[in-house]
Structures are given as C-alpha cells and as structure tokens.
Structure 1
Amino acid sequence: IFTWYPLLVVRNFSLGERRALRRELEEEKYDLIHAETFYVMPHLPKTIVPTILVDQTIEYLVYRHYVSNEVPLILRPLFMLDVFKLRFWEKYYWKRTKKLVAVSSEDKKVMESEIAGIDVEIIPNGIDADHFAEKKIEKKTPPRVLFVGNFKWLQNIEAADILINKIWPQIVKEVSEARLWIVGMNIPERIHDLAGKRHDIEVTEAIPDIRDAYKAAAIMPVPLRGPGGTRLKVLEALVSALPVVSTSIGVMGLGLTAGKHVLVADTNTGLAKESIRLLKSPKLAKRIGVEGQKFVAKNYDWKSIIKLHDNIYNNILKKEP
C-alpha cells in the first residue's frame, strides 16, 4: 500500500539479485539479455545490452479478474489500487525493452492496444513431447478426474474451488466410482482437510514426476475463468494423451479445435456433462486424447519453438552496431 510498486514486484524483488546482475554486466560481455516476466525487470541496471522481455501473463488482467470476482466489495478500491500499479509498471517495462514477446495472440492484442505502435512477437510456451511420450504407466482404477496446479496462482485457486464445489458433485452423482485427484504445489490446508474427510477426493502435494498424474488419470477438467498466458498444464495433459474438458478461456489462443482436440464448455453444468460423457465413453476419450496429443506434439514441441527464439535473437543482433 505504501509503495509505488505493486505487491507482485515487491514480493519478487531481491537486492542481492540486483547487485549480482549489475556486477555480472560490468565484468562480462553479453550480446542480449532475455528476461522472463515483467517483474524481474527491476533487477536489471541501466545497460546498453538489448533486452528481450517475454511476458508469460499479463498480470494486471489476472489480478483485476480476481479482485472483481473474489474480493469483498468494501475492499475492492484498495485492491484495485494494486491493479493500477501493476498495469502502470507492466506498460513501463514493455516500453523499455528492445523486443517484447507474448505467449498468445490474445496477449499480443492487449499489449498492442495498451501501447500504440509497439511491435510484439508471439512465441508460445512449449513442451518436451519426447519426455512425456516416453513415460508409460497404467490408468488408475477407479478412474481419476485430475486437477493440476500451483496454488500460488490466483487462477488455480479459483478453478479448483469451482471444480470441487460446483462441477465435481455433478460428476460423482453420475459416475459414483470416480475419484477427484488434486495434484500440485502449495495446496491449501482446507483442501487437504476436505480430502481427509471424503473418500472421493485425493490430494497429492509436490508429485515427484507430473507425468505420472497425466498418464494415470482418466480426464482433466480445466474450469479456468481468468485471462492471460498459455495454459502449460493443458499442453502437458494433451501431449500425454489425457483428454481435456475446458472453458473457452482455458484453451484460448492454443489453436485447438473443440470436439476434436478438446471438449469445451463455459458453464459448470456444461463442463460436468462433457466430463461425464468422456468417463462413460472410453472410445470418445481415447479419440480426443490421441488427436490432442498429435496436435500438441506437432505445434508446441520445443524443437520448433526454439527456432522462434533463435529468429528473434538473430534479428536483433543483425540490427545492433
């Protein structure tokens, strides 16, 4: 509240990191600086080395969605002040970079609407298709309905609450043997407590190999409501041949075809119905899983994504004196 910087910047700032970067740039010669996420930018000293900023998520949109939907009305003006700070500093660092990169066409549009004349490239998030393909594991019995997420992020907290409270009761009513499997990091105690009281909900904190979850589960609902970024968990699930049921926002910008690579619904009832349909139709689930896997392996493997990075690096270096 009492600083001009938003909480996200304050929380991630390290004076030691800033000193280390200044010392590194003074003592060594670099052609480019590649920064991931705008809130690492305050660590960079003034330098003639061109900087590429890849902004994984437009943070002010995420926080604005959270404040508008989750924060009590009486507290919203206070929280909206932080959203205002986020927007200001995101735009500030977007303008300071030599090249700004978004991970989706939707984020690119927002950036270009915020800053007239800015040139934004798109490099989607990628996955190691071979790494996920090589893992072999049997599906769990009874079938697991998977949710994966780091609960440090607001979108995952909101989505998990929707799944547990609104969607899961509809699913388990129709497929009584199914189990809801929450896998992730920083899972709230209330979810752990709930799982301890319910036979139909399981929780796995910090699973050693996330491939085990994707390969062992039957389906993965993605009831995301908030904007921003590329949904890496969706790509990982699909490349593991795990059928996904998502909101439109959850798969926005990925180029997936609804009904072919993924099932899409934008209401809680719709997400539940599509999940039930997959659980009751192994043939449909297998088809969606295979088609999703082929699409992601073709379009999002790091082997092809890295070439986009190389093109940007080379273009900038050609322009530098």
Structure 2
Amino acid sequence: MKVVFLSQRFLFPQDTGGKIRTSKILEQLNKIFSLTVLSNMESPQDDPYLPEMERICDKFIPVPWVETKRYTLQWYLEVLKKSFSRYPVPMLNDYSAELERAVLDELNRQSYDLAICDFMQSTLNFQHVKNIPRLLFQHNVEATIAQRHMQRAKDPFFKIFWWLQFKKMFYHEKKQCGLFDRVIAVSENDKLRMEDWYGVNNVCTIPTGVDTEFYAATKNSKEKKQIVFVGAMDWLPNDDAMKYFLNSIFPLIQKQEPGAHFIIVGRNPSPALKKTINKIPNVKLTGWVEDTRPYIAESAVFIVPIRIGGGTRMKIYEGMAMGKAIVSTSIGAEGLPVKHGEHIYLADTETRFAEYVIKLLQNTENRQRMGMGARQYVYNNFRWKKVAEAFANICQETVKRNNTNALKSAESLMTSH
C-alpha cells in the first residue's frame, strides 16, 4: 500500500512530543507500507538532520520555508494580524502555499492509496486533496487547549483572545473531523470528546508509546536531590506549567527541603519565564539540549504540573521508562492508563503536589519501588511497535472501507441506469 504523509513540521531534532510520536510511528509504518513524507524544512538548521528524515520513509520531499522566531516584535505583530482572521492562529501558522502545492503535485505525479495529515492545524494544506481516502492524525483535541487557556487567563484581554480562539478552533476542528474519512486520536478521552463535541463517528484510537530501549533506567547514575521537568518551552501549556510550579509549588517544597534543586530541560523559554527563574534560587534552565536523558537520570523526581492541554503527555512514559517516580496533575496524565499511587502520584492542588514531591525526595526506597514498577509497566504495554501496528490497521481499514463504498456507489449508479 502506498501512503503519502504530510507533516507540516520537520520531525528532527526530536524536541517536542508531537515530533517524537510522529517520527516513531513513521519509522515502524515504513516497514509495512511504501511511505512518502512531505514537510517544511528550514535551512541551515534542519540540514544536519536530513539523513534521519530520509531514514524513516521511502521518499522525503522537503519544502523550503522560514519560520518567524518566537517572542520577536515581528512574531507578536504576526500573531496580532492573524487574530483578525476567521481561522485560529495555529492553523494560519501551519499553512504554507508552497507545502499545499507540493502535496497536490505529488498526488498528481504518483498514485497513492491513502493520504494522511498530521495535526489538525495542518489541514489547510490538505484542503484541495480529493479523490483519495484521507486520514487525520489528531495528537490533541485542539479546541480543548484553547478552552483551558481561556479558563486560566486572568487578564481580560487574554481571556477574550482565547475565547475567540476557542470558538474558531471549535468550528474548524468540527468541520475538519467531518471532512476526513477517519480520524485517529491518542486517547479514549479525546475520542469521546470529539464524538460529543463534533457529533462524528469516524474516530479511532491508538495508545501512546515510548522507546523503552532509548529511555532506559540507569543503574549507575547517582540521583541528586533534584526535580526535573522536560518539555518544549515554546509550547504555551509547558510555559504555564513552569510558572505555576515556580510560583505556587516550589516555594512549598523549599520550606521542607531547602536543599532541593529544580532543573527545566527544554528549548525556547519565554522572556517572562526567564525573568521568573532568575528570582528563585536553586533553579536551572538548560535551553535546548541534544539528549534529555542525563538530566532525567540524575534527578530524583520527575514532574508534570500541566494545567492546560489535550492529547497525552509522552514525557510521562519517558520518565516511567527511565524508572523515575513521577508527580503530575490529572490533566498532565490525562488519557494515559496510569494508576495513582502505583505508577504515578496525581495532585491537583499546590499543597498536595508539593507533599508528594517532598515524600519522594525523602524516601529513596518508595521512590525506587514506584519508578521500577512504572518502568516494567510501560515496557510490557507501550512500545512503539505495538502503537504503529494499531495505526497501520486503521490505515488499512480506512482504505478498505473507502474502496467498498466506492464499489457500492458504482454499482448503484449502474443499476439506476
């Protein structure tokens, strides 16, 4: 079966959850299907990773582009301008006329059995793709993220901004979910939400996966009295999570454990977050790193204080695979089949979150027992090969169903004549 896959974002380096999930699935799908991938590619920073991109597919078609750097004056002006569009800002950010044309040109040159669009925000690049089964890979229910931003916003201007973004995203996400033959969600929660909000019945689910060989427990690593958070800091839910933890939770931990350190591992932090960090002792921000594992390995507790988000957080499975004890909010662990007190601690108040972190910092035996149990759990159930097999089955079913429907339509047309 020949599959064409649109990923608006170049998938390397693997410094976001979306990039990791997509690239790991494509790597396995390429063993099953003939796979062509199209994505934007920005030179020169993406050039060293071109061999990695070509490794996970049979054919890679790069489309040159230049992304506006975040938190610059130009970036803010672009966001302001896009705010007046009928489309939500993320959809406009991910649209490229050149990428849209490249997809159509490839479909005109070659015959494919299935076309897949990665992320709802990229669907404008797919708007003229016709006469082929179409599948949408939904890493999140995007309207949920906008809704939670709106609910958390304190400034009236930002509350109105996020309310408008929520309304726009809701409308377009509902429209796109109805236009695609099949939608893949990454959790049962997301599937149920899309069915409830958008009235669709074409949503399937795949589990979240983790590379248990790459993220492996390190026996020889000596843990520090250190807390770690890993995530791309230019994703607004991560930025919110860090401000929340630093302002409301970490001070409570420091009262009981003044020697505790906190390290934030992630690219492109906002100026506001940097300013907050500079005011608090024992906090370190790495910025972008090639490999997050050494920072996870040396830390005693892995935290996910996410208050805004959708989909699932792969970082939780990565921490579990490395044998780390984890404290998360309920939203942080949303959609993952993990049990409180067995695989992870869940806390939705500042006091309870701090209590669990302190408990783990102070009790090495309890921390290690939870971490090793969590490692075994993800090893047994959530390796990428299983996830990709589920994805491949949905692809095959989508093509089969479309062919069956086309045959029935043809037979009906012949009968009517």
TM-score, L = length of structure 2: 0.73
Displacement of 1:191: 3.5
- Alignment deviations for residues 250-307 of structure 1 (CA, whole Å, 9 cap, x no partner): 1122111111100111111000000000000000000110111111122221021111
Going from structure 1 to structure 2, the CA distance change for 1:6 and 1:137 (only over 3 Å counts) comes to farther
- Alignment deviations for residues 50-96 of structure 1 (CA, whole Å, 9 cap, x no partner): 11111111111111111221252255334322211111111111011
Going from structure 1 to structure 2, the CA distance change for 1:59 and 1:71 (only over 3 Å counts) comes to farther
Going from structure 1 to structure 2, the CA distance change for 1:2 and 1:266 (only over 3 Å counts) comes to closer
CA RMSD of aligned residues (A): 1.8
Match of 1:11 among 90, 93, 107: 93
Going from structure 1 to structure 2, the CA distance change for 1:66 and 1:137 (only over 3 Å counts) comes to farther
> Separation in 1 of the partners of 2:322 and 2:111?
41
Match of 1:216 among 283, 292, 298: 298
Q: Identify which range, 308-317 or 74-83, moves more after superposition.
A: 74-83
- Aligned identity (percent) is 28
Structure 2 counterpart of 1:97: 180
Contact 2:150-2:160 within 8 A present in 1 as well: no
Match of 1:27 among 89, 92, 109: 109
SS in 1 for 2:150: helix
User: 1:1-321 residue pairs with structure 2 within 5 A?
Assistant: 1-44=83-126, 45-133=128-216, 138-141=221-224, 143-196=225-278, 198-321=280-403
Going from structure 1 to structure 2, the CA distance change for 1:117 and 1:75 (only over 3 Å counts) comes to closer
- Alignment deviations for residues 2-23 of structure 1 (CA, whole Å, 9 cap, x no partner): 3211111111111111111111
TM-score, L = length of structure 1: 0.94
Q: Identify which range, 64-73 or 271-280, moves more after superposition.
A: 64-73
Contact 1:106-1:253 within 8 A present in 2 as well: yes
> Separation in 1 of the partners of 2:304 and 2:92?
30
Contact 1:135-1:211 within 8 A present in 2 as well: no
| Contiguous gaps of at least 5 residues in structure 1 | none
Q: Identify which range, 232-241 or 78-87, moves more after superposition.
A: 78-87
Contact 1:151-1:187 within 8 A present in 2 as well: yes
> Separation in 2 of the partners of 1:77 and 1:155?
18
| Contiguous gaps of at least 5 residues in structure 2 | 1-82, 404-417
SS in 1 for 2:303: strand
SS in 2 for 1:259: coil
Contact 2:153-2:159 within 8 A present in 1 as well: no
**Which amino acid in 1 is paired with 2:198?**
I
**Which amino acid in 1 is paired with 2:191?**
K
What is the total number of aligned residue pairs between the two structures? Answer: 320
Going from structure 1 to structure 2, the CA distance change for 1:185 and 1:209 (only over 3 Å counts) comes to same
**Which amino acid in 2 is paired with 1:113?**
D
